[in-house]
């Protein structure tokens, strides 16, 4: 399936390019004869209207995107910067213009808005190589797209872009177009225009940057995700070097300037105020992915080869960057499920439990960290998300709740081993054997209990039992459950028995764990985790995107699993973490050498996952799932469920012989 999706995307992109070559190079005659005359005419008229109605203020104004919480209260807003960041052509250092022309549009001062030869080269390359490897858009076309159009790839949008570019060249001078362009292009991390980028990355005005720093910034707009200096510094530097080479070959800089700029070390200086709250970064990510889906992008988590995965990553980065730009400047209203009261309580619970760990790294960030996610069980939406401890420090925040992937330890067993085994005929009362296994794992306490009920094995987190059941089930079958719930970092080496105990190559995120356990309490129905419920564009139209819902486990298996997870809190590894006056179920997880601690559990109302550990994994002697993570979970869940009526979890029946019988007899 993954290969066919990839081929469809490639064919779509090539088809767009072929249509353009017919339109631009062979004229519009084919479309008139083919019945597209009226459509082309309308596009041209609309393009003329856009440009005729524009003035210099058109290129200074932005549309602010607003984010609101579950109560309809504004959480944050985002746009392409303050108007005070706008620079006139006279204020723009000439080196910026030289750098951007050398890499984006060498014939800028010669064409009328469209470089037909560049488009031809792009089409020929696409046809020869079977994929799009070159761009054909001029600086004027890019300006047209950024200011007047959406980021979709339909041929109509591309044709309109060309018409607008031609009209812009008729109305404005080259210097004005260059001014508009350099003040509107996107430099990643919510930075628009050269002044915002200069301040955002170097904490200085554009006029004070060196040649090397200018070339470095001009590397970013070509693909803001790929050349984001905060995540892909090497790639940004490589493109900086290419720009400097082009500038030298174009005669814009001397050989000595070229060599000195190449040798200059780039040191970022991020202003202190350029950082986002944890919920805002997660909301932005969810909203971007919703726009990607609305644009037809198909998400994948498994691949048949490394080459296929690499190609997907490239396409993902390109689409993400386009939709990120669209979100920030599109004037959307993003309605979220974030509950501000729960958000504060969850953050406070993490901070309070870890407050005694005051050691910081060289960047001034607390070394011991935590992450937590709370999902509303009635909707499946994320109510609160914490990506680390609260603190004031310079730089951008890492949201560990969805951006960090760690070993889950035994917390993964219910999703990977136990619930799938319950589907195969096991019950909480099935007798299993806790025994020493040759070349197998040891139990945490080093003891073996012999024949015990499965309920007891789960409560005491018996590694030997999980190992045997996973061996019987088969790693491929067990991991399939995780893939179906979009666990995004299942690697080839994870198809082994050690995965039964959480021994993954890369790991899982707190968001993934929360959504997995929320699937259990939701009778096996998985709902893709997100906090974005609705997006409305600037014209009041609802953006159409679907939230994935999939039946993963059988209902009865989930209810049996919940019953056993209740026992974990009553008499097992989570004893002492049970909530007062509220039904609850959960599981601890501790990795080798106590490097990662997890607790994931739920009540009828909320599911919450908690991780505690170091960003660079190292041992913490007293770290266990039941210690810091468990206490964070308990403290928060007590408050989250306060005042709610206690409800018993749905009861399970004896394992039946068919799905039909289970459906008929379950409550």
Give catalytic residue positions: 104, 410
The set of long-range contacts for 424-430, using a CB threshold of 8 Å and a minimum separation of 24, is 424/473, 425/655, 426/454, 426/469, 426/655, 427/454, 427/560, 427/654, 427/655, 428/453, 428/454, 428/455, 428/458, 428/560, 428/563, 428/564, 429/453, 429/454, 429/455, 430/454
Q: Quick one: tokens of 30?
A: 């084919």
Compute how many other C-beta atoms are within 10 angstroms of the C-beta atom of residue 651.
12
Rounded-to-integer distance, Cα 595 and Cα 619, Å: 5
Beta-carbon contacts of residue 460 (< 8 Å; ≥ 6 apart) = 443, 449, 572, 573
Structural contact between residues 451 and 433, judged by C-beta atoms closer than 8 angstroms = yes
The DSSP 8-state label assigned to residue 384 in this structure reads E
Rounded-to-integer distance, Cα 507 and Cα 400, Å: 12
Phi then psi dihedrals of residue 376, to 5 deg: -80, 115
Phi-psi domain of 486 (left: phi exceeds 0; alpha: psi -120 through 50; beta: other): left
Q: Quick one: tokens of 578?
A: 């049970």
Helical pair 155-171 and 2-25, crossing angle rounded to 10 deg: 40
Structural contact between residues 376 and 383, judged by C-beta atoms closer than 8 angstroms = yes
Rounded-to-integer distance, Cα 344 and Cα 352, Å: 12
Rounded-to-integer distance, Cα 40 and Cα 262, Å: 47
Structural contact between residues 543 and 560, judged by C-beta atoms closer than 8 angstroms = no
The H helix count followed by the E strand count for the chain is 25, 13
Rounded-to-integer distance, Cα 537 and Cα 542, Å: 6
Structural contact between residues 137 and 110, judged by C-beta atoms closer than 8 angstroms = no
């Amino acid at each position: 399936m993954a290969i066919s999706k990839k081929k469809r995307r490639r064919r779509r992109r090539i088809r767009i390019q072929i249509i353009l070559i017919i339109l631009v190079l062979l004229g519009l005659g084919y479309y008139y004869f083919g019945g597209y005359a009226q459509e082309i005419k309308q596009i041209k008229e609309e393009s003329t209207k856009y440009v005729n109605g524009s003035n210099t203020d058109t290129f200074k104004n932005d549309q602010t995107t607003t984010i609101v919480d579950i109560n309809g209260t504004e959480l944050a807003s985002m746009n392409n910067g303050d108007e005070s960041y706008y620079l006139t052509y006279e204020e723009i250092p000439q080196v910026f213009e030289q750098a951007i022309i050398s890499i984006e549009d060498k014939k800028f001062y010669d064409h009328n808005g469209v470089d037909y030869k560049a488009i031809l080269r792009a089409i020929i390359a696409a046809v020869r190589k079977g994929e799009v490897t070159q761009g054909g858009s001029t600086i004027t076309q890019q300006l047209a797209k950024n200011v007047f159009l959406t980021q979709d790839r339909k041929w109509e949008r591309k044709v309109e872009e060309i018409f607008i570019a031609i009209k812009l060249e008729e109305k404005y001078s080259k210097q004005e177009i260059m001014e508009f362009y350099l003040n509107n292009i996107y430099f990643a991390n919510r930075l628009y225009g050269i002044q915002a980028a200069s301040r955002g990355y170097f904490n200085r005005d554009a006029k004070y940057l060196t040649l090397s720093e200018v070339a470095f910034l001009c590397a970013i707009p070509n693909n803001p995700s790929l050349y984001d200096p905060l995540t892909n510094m090497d790639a940004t530097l490589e493109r900086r070097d290419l720009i400097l080479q082009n500038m030298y070959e174009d005669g814009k800089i001397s050989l000595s300037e070229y060599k000195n700029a190449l040798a200059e070390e780039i040191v970022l200086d991020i202003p202190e105020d350029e950082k986002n709250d944890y919920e805002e970064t997660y909301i932005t990510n969810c909203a971007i992915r919703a726009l990607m889906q609305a644009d037809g992008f198909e998400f994948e988590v498994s691949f048949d080869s490394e080459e296929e995965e690499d190609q997907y990553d490239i396409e993902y980065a390109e689409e993400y960057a386009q939709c990120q730009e669209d979100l920030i400047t599109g004037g959307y209203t993003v309605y979220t499920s974030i509950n501000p009261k729960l958000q504060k309580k969850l953050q406070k619970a993490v901070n309070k439990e870890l407050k005694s760990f005051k050691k910081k790294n060289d960047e001034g960030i607390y070394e011991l960290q935590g992450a937590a996610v709370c999902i509303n069980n009635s909707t499946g939406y994320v109510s609160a998300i914490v990506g680390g401890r609260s603190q004031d420090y310079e730089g951008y925040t890492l949201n560990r709740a969805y951006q960090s992937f760690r070993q889950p330890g035994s917390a993964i067993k219910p999703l990977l081993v136990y619930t799938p085994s319950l589907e195969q005929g096991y019950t909480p009362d099935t007798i299993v054997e806790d025994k020493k296994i040759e070349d197998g794992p040891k139990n945490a306490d080093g003891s073996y209990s012999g024949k015990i009920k499965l309920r007891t094995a789960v409560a005491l987190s018996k590694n030997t039992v999980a190992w045997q059941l996973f061996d019987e089930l088969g790693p491929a079958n067990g991991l399939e459950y995780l893939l179906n719930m979009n666990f995004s970092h299942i690697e080839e080496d994870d198809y082994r028995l050690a995965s039964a105990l959480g021994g993954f190559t890369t790991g899982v995120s707190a968001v993934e764990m929360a959504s997995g356990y929320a699937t259990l309490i939701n009778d096996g129905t998985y709902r893709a985790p997100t906090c974005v419920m609705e997006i409305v564009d600037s014209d009041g139209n609802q953006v159409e995107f679907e939230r994935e819902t999939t039946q993963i486990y059988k209902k009865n298996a989930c209810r049996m699993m919940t019953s056993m997870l209740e026992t974990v809190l009553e008499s097992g590894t989570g004893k002492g973490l049970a909530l007062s006056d509220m039904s609850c179920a959960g599981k601890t997880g501790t990795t080798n050498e106590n490097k990662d601690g997890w607790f994931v559990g739920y009540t009828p109302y909320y599911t919450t996952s908690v991780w505690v550990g170091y960003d660079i994994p190292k041992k913490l002697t007293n770290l266990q799932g039941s210690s810091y993570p468990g206490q964070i979970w308990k403290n928060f869940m007590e408050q989250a469920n306060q005042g709610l009526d206690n409800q018993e979890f749905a009861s399970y029946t004896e394992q039946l012989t068919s799905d039909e019988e289970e459906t008929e007899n379950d409550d």
